[in-house]
């Protein structure tokens, strides 16, 4: 029998473990060592968890391998060692997290002079990160005893692995009370302030970029976790510091005071954009600002706006004399009144006629003012002030008219249409829509009446003629969709298929046709008729009329006579005279009679009828 044979294949690792002098390197040479480790091979795990093996594994991921080794095999053992240490096996986690000497060996890796080997830094970060998630209390307790831990991590922040390590400390600690203790500890270590100081003109650009990205990730992680936590949970101290006016002012001071550099301004602005980031997900609701109002789409801490306001002139200077990388104007879109005053009074919107990013931000600002719905008297007063500022100080109507006339002149002379005209059209339409209806209809009407008679006449002519014609052109279909309708629009569809009346006529036609001998061959369609090169299907459906289904009921043929004879032979008529007989009574079936009858039936027909 087949069970007499032992089909179990013994792993070569088990064979190596049978030897008393087997070494860790010999086991790591085996291709299936990781698979056996994750499969909880007991003998292998007991071997790996020995003190000398654990020490060798930790040394492999924290010590630079010899430079004379071949490059492709130089980091082979460190990589395998890292995978073994992070294989999420409880025996290895317990040994590594519970042995302080192993943790000290890991920690000494941070005490090296920068720069760290990026590959070894990733091995170190992955190992510590796994311990933070699996042996949280032991590892956090060990790290908190090290006074210089945060300083050493920031010292090597040019390595992206250190940035990942900080984020693991913030996001991977459970339960919630312990996580709150870690956040308080990081706040006591002034993590946010020290990261902000790294975004400085005198620092290495890689360090600036990683510090900026770390701050952005902390903001997003903290906000996401705050949304998931219960209301009675203590606030995130790191997020509170980041959103404070003092912290934002310090960031702006780093960006603009002293020697300015493109890297510090770009990275600092990235943090500001994250602080001012919308709460909604995706971009599908971006233009809903026009109908929903500004504050409904954005939740921006007022302290951030108060900190940015004194530096608007600095942002204006960046727009007038921008560096090579321009990512600054978006941060200003959250300060409608001041921002619009700068953009319109200084001609920025019109000066940079091809900067659509700038134009879009101005359009959002106008939308936020015109479509805002005030909820109380104080907000109504502030809103009315913003609307008046938009029409009086910014001279919105006059600037729209002047820009339009100037563009028409340029196009008349053969020049190209300006790039901001599309945004200007939408701004003009917003003004017209709010002038016709809305909560500020009367205020806008009064502001229009305050214009000079000449300007008011130009505006009315512009709305009735120029803007209406522009809107008409913008709504013209670029491609004719006359024959492009959904299947639900059957009433208006013009298709090659016949309508109800023609279908009825076709059915009547084939009913009066005569049956042909080659009907089977004609019925249906050939494969060739559905070839890719033939796009006309009219002919295929027209062949329905060619199908001959005519059956002449009066045709007294030999076949009909045979059928009638068979029916008379087989079917017995019910007769009232035979009421005494039970038709459902079981009777013996005489097959001989049926055979004889069938033989007689064949003989009467003759061979010519078969």
Model pLDDT for residues 219-232, shown as the tens digit of each residue: 988 888 877 766 55
Mean pLDDT of 301-330: 72
CA–CA distance, 215 with 255 (Å, rounded to integer): 15
Mean pLDDT of the chain: 76
CA atoms within 13 A on the CB side of 205: 6
Element (DSSP H or E) covering residue 96: helix 90-98
Residues in the chain: 610
CA distances from 341 to 29, 135, 332, 455, 595 (A): 70, 56, 12, 21, 110
Mean pLDDT of 63-90: 88
Predicted local confidence at residue 546, as pLDDT: 55
The DSSP output letter for 65 is: P
Mean pLDDT of 158-167: 92
Least confident interval from 43-57, 201-215, 233-247, 314-328: 314-328
Predicted local confidence at residue 604, as pLDDT: 46
Predicted local confidence at residue 607, as pLDDT: 46
Portion of the chain with pLDDT greater than 90, in percent: 25
Question: Is the pTM higher than 0.75?
Answer: no
Classify each residue of 196-213 as buried b or exposed e, where b means 16 or more C-beta atoms within 10 Å of its C-beta.
Answer: bebbbbebeeebbbbbbb
Residue 597 has pLDDT above 60, yes or no: no
Element (DSSP H or E) covering residue 11: none
Predicted local confidence at residue 212, as pLDDT: 93
Mean pLDDT of 43-50: 91
- From 306, 307, 358, select the one nearest 328 (Cα to Cα): 358
Residue 178 has pLDDT above 70, yes or no: yes
Least confident interval from 145-154, 156-165, 301-310, 397-406: 301-310
Cis before 115? omega within 30: yes
- From 304, 208, 190, select the one nearest 263 (Cα to Cα): 208
Mean pLDDT of 549-567: 64
Tokens encoding 588: 């013996």
Residue 63 has pLDDT above 60, yes or no: yes
266 pLDDT tier (thresholds 50, 70, 90): confident
Residue 167 has pLDDT above 70, yes or no: yes
Predicted local confidence at residue 226, as pLDDT: 77
Predicted local confidence at residue 61, as pLDDT: 93
Higher pLDDT: 287 or 439? It is 439
Mean pLDDT of 558-583: 62
Number of H helices, E strands in the chain: 38, 0
The DSSP output letter for 528 is: G
CA–CA distance, 339 with 333 (Å, rounded to integer): 7
Predicted local confidence at residue 482, as pLDDT: 52
Predicted local confidence at residue 391, as pLDDT: 87
Least confident interval from 3-7, 381-385, 467-471, 523-527: 3-7
584 pLDDT tier (thresholds 50, 70, 90): low
Mean pLDDT of 350-360: 82
Predicted local confidence at residue 312, as pLDDT: 83
Classify each residue of 74-85 as buried b or exposed e, where b means 16 or more C-beta atoms within 10 Å of its C-beta.
Answer: bbebbbbbbbbb
């Amino acid at each position: 029998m087949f069970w007499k044979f032992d089909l179990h294949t013994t792993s070569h690792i088990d064979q190596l473990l049978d030897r008393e002098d087997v070494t860790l390197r010999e086991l790591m040479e085996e291709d299936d060592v990781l698979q056996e480790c994750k499969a909880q091979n007991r003998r292998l795990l007991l071997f790996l968890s020995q003190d000398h093996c654990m020490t060798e594994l930790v040394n492999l991921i924290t010590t630079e391998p010899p430079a004379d080794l071949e490059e492709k095999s130089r980091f082979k053992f460190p990589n395998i060692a890292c995978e073994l240490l992070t294989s999420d096996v409880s025996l290895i986690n317990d040994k590594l997290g519970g042995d302080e000497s192993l943790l000290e060996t890991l920690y000494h890796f941070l005490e090296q002079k920068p720069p760290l080997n990026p590959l070894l830094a990733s091995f170190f970060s992955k190992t510590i990160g796994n311990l933070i998630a699996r042996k949280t209390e032991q590892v956090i307790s060990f790290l908190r005893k090290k006074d210089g831990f945060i300083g050493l991590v920031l010292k090597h922040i040019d390595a992206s692995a250190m940035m990942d390590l900080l984020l693991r400390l913030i996001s991977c600690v459970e339960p919630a009370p312990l996580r709150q203790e870690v956040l308080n500890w990081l706040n006591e270590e002034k993590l946010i302030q020290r990261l902000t100081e790294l975004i400085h003109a005198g620092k290495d650009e890689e360090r600036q970029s990683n510090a900026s990205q770390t701050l952005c990730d902390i903001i997003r992680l903290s906000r996401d976790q705050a949304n998931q936590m219960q209301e009675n949970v203590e606030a995130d101290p790191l997020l509170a510091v980041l959103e404070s006016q003092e912290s934002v002012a310090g960031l702006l001071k780093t960006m603009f005071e002293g020697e300015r550099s493109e890297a510090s301004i770009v990275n600092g602005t990235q943090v500001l954009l994250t602080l001012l980031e919308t709460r909604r997900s995706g971009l599908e609701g971006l233009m809903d600002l026009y109908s929903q109002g500004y504050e409904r789409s954005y939740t921006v801490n007022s302290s951030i706006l108060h900190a940015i306001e004194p530096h608007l002139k600095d942002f204006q200077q960046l727009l007038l004399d921008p560096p090579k990388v321009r990512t600054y104007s978006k941060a200003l879109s959250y300060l409608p009144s001041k921002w619009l005053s700068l953009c319109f009074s200084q001609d920025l919107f019109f000066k940079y006629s091809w900067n659509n990013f700038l134009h879009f931000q101005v359009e959002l600002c106008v939308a936020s003012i015109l479509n805002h719905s005030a909820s109380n008297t104080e907000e109504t007063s502030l809103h009315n002030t913003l609307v008046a500022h938009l029409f009086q100080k910014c001279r919105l109507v006059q600037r729209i008219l002047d820009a339009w006339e100037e563009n028409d002149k340029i196009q008349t002379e053969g020049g190209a249409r300006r790039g901001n005209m599309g945004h200007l059209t939408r701004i003009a339409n917003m003004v017209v829509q709010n002038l016709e209806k809305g909560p500020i209809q009367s205020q806008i009407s009064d502001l229009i009446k305050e214009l000079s008679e000449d300007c008011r006449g130009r505006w009315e002519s512009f709305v009735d003629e120029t803007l209406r014609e522009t809107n008409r052109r913008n709504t013209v279909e670029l491609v004719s969709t006359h024959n492009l309708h959904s299947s639900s629009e059957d009433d208006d569809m013009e298709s090659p298929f016949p309508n109800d009346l023609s279908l009825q006529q076709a059915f009547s036609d084939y009913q009066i046709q005569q049956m042909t001998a080659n009907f089977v061959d004609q019925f249906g369609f050939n494969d060739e008729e559905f070839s890719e090169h033939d796009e006309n299907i009219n002919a295929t459906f027209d062949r329905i009329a060619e199908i001959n289904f005519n059956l002449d009921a009066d045709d007294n043929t030999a076949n009909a006579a045979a059928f009638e004879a068979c029916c008379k032979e087989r079917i017995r008529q019910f007769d009232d005279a035979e009421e005494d007989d039970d038709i459902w009574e079981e009777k013996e079936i005489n097959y001989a009679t049926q055979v004889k009858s069938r033989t007689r039936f064949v003989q009467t027909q003759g061979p010519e009828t078969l």
